[in-house]
Amino acid sequence: ACVKMIVIDEMPFSIVDKMRFWLFCVVGIPLFKVPSRRTLVRTFLNMSNESKAHLKKTLSAHRICLTTNTWTSTPNTNYMVLTTHFIDHEWNMHKRIINFCVIPNHYGTTIAKLIENCWLEWGIDELWQSQWIMLPQIKLLWINYGKNK
């Protein structure tokens, strides 16, 4: 529960080293043993891997749509996010961020390579042959990208 609170509230793992956090735990939850930062990180990584495995399984059961967005921050750092969208069996729409990274530039080939790497990591490449729908112009660009790599 401690790790979930820290992640959901976007707190740094170092919060467990702060005197106020310790004081809160001693007074508010005297039987709670405050974990170390190392234990928090290990628990977080395990939870993250479990969540990713569950999401992979969920994505493999649905047709998905991928969207990407790139932008440049104030200090000229380029970012890209890759989001997957899908509709479940009860007609509820879902979206999940599957990649967020710094990119060197906004060139199409750079973005295509990052998308391809993400597909391979998530196993989406196995689905694209049978379920791929895209605009004809973009499809030609993508096919040409594949031939040139």
> What's the pLDDT tens digit per position in 58-100?
887 888 888 888 899 888 899 999 888 988 889 999 998 888 8
**The residue to which tokens 């791929």 are assigned:** 132
Predicted model pTM = 0.64
Residue type, position 110, single letter: T
Residues 28, 34: Cα–Cα separation, whole Å? 12
Instruction: Count Cα neighbours of 12 within 13 Å in the Cβ-side half-sphere.
Output: 4
- H-run or E-run covering 102: strand 93-103
Q: Which positions ≥6 away from 72 have C-beta within 8 Å?
A: 78, 79, 106
Instruction: Count Cα neighbours of 71 within 13 Å in the Cβ-side half-sphere.
Output: 6
| pLDDT for residue 28 is more than 50 | yes
**Per residue in 35-60, pLDDT tens?**
788 888 888 888 888 888 898 888 87
